[in-house]
Amino acid sequence: EVQLVESGGGLVQPGGSLRLSCSVSGFIFDDYAMSWVRLAPGRGLEWVAGISWGGGNIVYADSVKGRFTVSRDNAKNSLSLEMTSLGPEDTALYYCTRKIQGVSNWFDPWGQGTQVTVSS
């Protein structure tokens, strides 16, 4: 069974940092690109960052560029998201998801998410 389990969320003050992790199982991790997607109240889903199967190609949404860093450890079947300079606008439920690549790309499956709250 394919599983993605996020961890590392929590309450952080504005300007602070947080590192999210995603542990995966049930598929060959280094065969797939991965992404982080967040769900903020009233704002819907927002794609945050993506990383290729080998980690050599990384892309970010403009809203997090320069502040967030995505990485992966294929030996540990693990995906990470390092978040710095956090602001209230980063408050969201963060999902780890596998990218299905082909003629076009979609995301399947998704983890259950980890909540990040930025507040003083």
- Positions in the binding site for other proteins (CB under 8 A): 35, 37, 43-47, 50, 59, 61-62, 95, 100, 102-113
Q: Which is nearer to other proteins, 1 or 108 (CB)?
A: 108
Q: Which is nearer to other proteins, 9 or 111 (CB)?
A: 111
Question: Can you tell me the distance from the alpha carbon of 63 to that of 47, in angstroms, rounded to the nearest whole number?
Answer: 10
* Residue 111, amino acid: G
Residue 45 CB, nearest approach to other proteins (Å):
4
CB 3 within 8 A of CB 96: no
- Give one DSSP letter per residue of 24-87, joined into a string: EESS-GGGS-EEEEEEETTTEEEEEEEE-TTSS-EEE-TTTTTTEEEEEEGGGTEEEEEE-S--
Residue 104 CB, nearest approach to other proteins (Å):
4
Q: Is 75 helix (H, G, I), strand (E, B) or coil?
A: helix
Residue 16 CB, nearest approach to other proteins (Å):
25
Residue 47 CB, nearest approach to other proteins (Å):
4
Q: Which is nearer to other proteins, 16 or 53 (CB)?
A: 53
Q: Which is nearer to other proteins, 18 or 96 (CB)?
A: 96
Strands 106-110 and 114-118: unpaired
